[in-house]
Amino acid sequence: GAVVSQHPSRVICKSGTSVKIECRSLDFQATTMFWYRQFPKQSLMLMATSNEGSKATYEQGVEKDKFLINHASLTLSTLTVTSAHPEDSSFYICSARASEDRTYEQYFGPGTRLTVT
Amino acid sequence: SQELEQSPQSLIVQEGKNLTINCTSSKTLYGLYWYKQKYGEGLIFLMMLQKGGEEKSHEKITAKLDEKKQQSSLHITASQPSHAGIYLCGADMNYGKLTFGQGTILTVHP
pLDDT, position A40: 84
Picking from A108, A112, A114, A115 by the largest number of B CB atoms within 10 A of its own CB, the best residue to mutate is A108
Please determine, for residue B28, whether its predicted confidence score (pLDDT) is greater than 90: no
3-class SS of residue B83: helix
| Distance of residue B33 Cα from the nearest chain A Cα, in angstroms | 8
**Burial class of residue B65, CB neighbours in 10 A (0-12, 13-18, 19+):** buried
pLDDT, position A86: 96
Model confidence over A3-51: pLDDT tens digits? 999 999 999 999 999 999 999 999 999 989 999 999 888 889 999 999 8
Q: How far apart, in whole angstroms, are the C-alpha atoms of residue A69 and residue A81?
A: 9
| Distance of residue A105 Cα from the nearest chain B Cα, in angstroms | 7
Q: Which residues of A60-94 are buried (b: 16+ CB within 10 A; e: fewer)?
A: eebeeeebbbebeebbbbbbebeebeeebbbbbbb
Cα A62 to the center of its chain, rounded Å: 13
Across the interface, of A2, A49, A111, the residue whose CB is closest to B97 is A49
Torsion angle (degrees, nearest 10) of CA A101, A103, A105, A109: 40
Q: Do A102 and B30 touch (CB under 8 A)?
A: yes
